[in-house]
Amino acid sequence: MIEFNSINNFELVNPEQIITWLEGVISAERKIVGELNYIFCDDAYLHKINVDFLDHDTFTDIISFDYSQGNIVSGDMYISVERVEENAQDFNCSFRDELSRVMVHGILHYCGYKDKSTEEGKLMRSKENTYLALR
């Protein structure tokens, strides 16, 4: 089950369509949808999580807590709507496109993809682009 929650009154447009798309991504990766929670928040809220849980004193667009077991994809993903808005401007793309990229990025991490090295980052970006085209 995929659920969307908001700490800052953010509401997705067409949540059912996004759920169908994300379920398709998970299926294409030969995984099973477990319990996935997207929590939309602001920079301050996500920064506090970053400091308290990861000991990182930086702003970020997403922090994910992976509870996946075997092929069942589960976890909590906190997304800063403010950071996504700013990144969309910086990358000269729409808010919808940037938000979709961040959302699928979290799913891909749960499916086992990493992005620490240059090669891992290239593969992650390629997967993101593939799935964004299916949205």
Domain of 80, CATH number, reads 3.40.390.30
Question: 133 pLDDT exceeds 90?
Answer: yes
Instruction: Quickly state the pLDDT bin for 54 (edges 50, 70, 90).
Output: confident
Q: Is 76 annotated as a binding residue?
A: no
Q: Average per-residue pLDDT in the chain?
A: 96
How many other CB atoms are there within 10 angstroms of residue 43's CB atom?
16
79, 38 contact by CB (below 8 A):
yes
Q: Residue 47's domain spans which residues?
A: 2-132
Q: Is 105 annotated as a binding residue?
A: yes
Domain count across the chain: 1
- Mean predicted confidence (pLDDT) in 43-70: 94
Q: Is 90 annotated as a binding residue?
A: no
- Mean predicted confidence (pLDDT) in 71-99: 97
In Å, the largest CA–CA distance within the chain is 37
> Per the confidence metrics, is the pTM higher than 0.75?
yes
